[in-house]
């Protein structure tokens, strides 16, 4: 089966109209054009992940690869990044990518993922700092253990605890295959809010799903979904992945990495409209 000429245009679509209930002004209306079907949104809700195979065009993949290679080379040369070969979380991690290259900033309003985030979290969504993970075929331990990205539950649960939902768009710039390393997920585990992920676990888990996908694919996951990256092997190639996270606009920003004081996103804060301020997580952008 041939891939469509425009994968984004081929996505199913539907609209959701929200009314934001508000005590002090007229209830604002937000209509979201969702790049997914209602059935896909329901699958995401129940299973904790949604696959978008081959979503990016080849020229966009190449642009993002070149941008990531440029940032990687600069940060390694400056001593701000180093490939980890320790067990558990091998590879190279880079933070705040939208501040460091305009190619990543182009994804700030990427409708195929942003609209799904608004469908899952409500209309008031912010874009959290973008991260990259790169694994290498000539380095050991280029895998991750089973882990989650966001959970702060307590035992016993607090009566008014607010569940912090975060969605991550995992953007793969290289093929996911047995040589480069697969993505494994355990469907439904995002709903197991008080079950600990066993530490240092890299073994098979009953019910896990292994995803083999071409470069340019995106996997949207709930931040609490159990998942891991299988090893990149000497037979494979470099495996580059971007993490584009979304959260409710009022959620506190994470503190990973040092945010550049003169980054490329700084102009967005000046004379920004309400939607841009909301996407930046600024209170003045909220209704």
Q: pLDDT tens digits for 44-100?
A: 999 999 999 999 999 999 999 999 999 999 999 999 999 999 888 999 999 999 999
Question: Nearest CA to 121 among 130, 113, 131?
Answer: 113
- pLDDT of 5 above 80: no
SS3 29: strand
Say if CB 244 and CB 110 are below 8 A apart. Answer: yes
Q: Quote the pLDDT of residue 41.
A: 98
Question: Nearest CA to 19 among 33, 34, 29?
Answer: 29
Report pLDDT digits (tens) over 99-119. 999 999 999 999 999 999 999
**Average pLDDT of span 158-165:** 85
Alpha-carbon distance of 188 to 175, in angstroms, equals 25
- Rounded to 5 degrees, φ, ψ at 207 are 90, -5
Alpha-carbon distance of 279 to 285, in angstroms, equals 8
Say if CB 170 and CB 183 are below 8 A apart. Answer: yes
Q: Quote the pLDDT of residue 2.
A: 56
**Average pLDDT of span 34-52:** 98
Helices (H), 78-213: 102-105, 111-121
Give bridge partners of residue 209 from the DSSP assignment.
185
Residue 287 — very low, low, confident or very high, per pLDDT cuts 50/70/90?
low
Contacts 24+ apart (CB under 8 A), 153-161: 153/193, 153/194, 155/194, 157/194
Say if CB 221 and CB 48 are below 8 A apart. Answer: yes
Q: What angle do CA 105, 89, 183 make, to 5 degrees?
A: 70
Say if CB 233 and CB 137 are below 8 A apart. Answer: yes
Q: Quote the pLDDT of residue 253.
A: 75
CA atoms within 13 A on the CB side of 269: 11
Alpha-carbon distance of 241 to 225, in angstroms, equals 17
**Average pLDDT of span 162-183:** 95
The mean pLDDT of the chain is 93
Lowest mean pLDDT: which of 17-26, 159-168, 187-196?
17-26
- pLDDT of 148 above 70: yes
Lowest mean pLDDT: which of 168-172, 209-213, 267-271?
267-271
Q: Quote the pLDDT of residue 104.
A: 98
Contacts 24+ apart (CB under 8 A), 157-161: 157/194
Query: Sign of torsion, CA 187 42 125 263?
Result: positive
Lowest mean pLDDT: which of 32-46, 102-116, 155-169, 247-261?
247-261
**Average pLDDT of span 251-261:** 80
Q: Quote the pLDDT of residue 251.
A: 85
Q: Which domains does the chain have, with CATH numbers?
A: 14-285 (2.60.120.620)
How many residues belong to the chain?
287
């Amino acid at each position: 089966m041939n891939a469509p000429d425009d994968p984004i245009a081929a996505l199913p679509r539907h609209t959701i109209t929200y009314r934001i209930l508000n005590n002090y002004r007229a209830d604002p209306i937000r209509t979201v054009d969702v790049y997914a079907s209602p059935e896909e949104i329901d699958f995401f809700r129940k299973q904790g992940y949604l696959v978008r195979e081959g979503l990016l065009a080849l020229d966009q993949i190449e642009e993002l690869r070149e941008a990531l290679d440029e940032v990687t080379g600069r940060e390694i040369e400056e001593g701000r990044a180093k490939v980890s070969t320790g067990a558990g979380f091998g590879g190279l991690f880079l933070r705040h990518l939208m501040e460091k290259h305009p190619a990543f900033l182009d994804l700030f309003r990427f409708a195929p993922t942003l609209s799904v985030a608004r469908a899952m979290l409500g209309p008031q969504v912010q874009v959290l700092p973008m991260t990259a993970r790169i694994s290498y075929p000539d380095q050991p331990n280029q895998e991750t253990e089973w882990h989650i990205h966001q959970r702060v539950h307590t035992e016993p649960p607090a009566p008014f605890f607010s569940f912090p939902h975060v969605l991550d768009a995992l953007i793969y710039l290289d093929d996911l295959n047995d040589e480069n390393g697969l993505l494994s997920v355990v469907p439904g585990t995002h709903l197991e809010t008080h079950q600990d992920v066993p530490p240092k676990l890299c073994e098979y888990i009953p019910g896990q799903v292994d995803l083999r996908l071409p470069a340019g694919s995106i996997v949207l996951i709930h931040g609490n979904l159990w998942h891991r990256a299988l090893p990149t092997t000497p037979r494979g190639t470099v495996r580059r992945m971007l993490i584009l996270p979304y959260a409710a606009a009022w959620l506190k920003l994470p503190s990973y990495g040092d945010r550049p004081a003169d980054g490329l996103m700084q102009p967005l804060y000046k004379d920004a409209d309400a939607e841009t301020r909301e996407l930046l997580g600024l209170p003045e952008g909220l209704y």
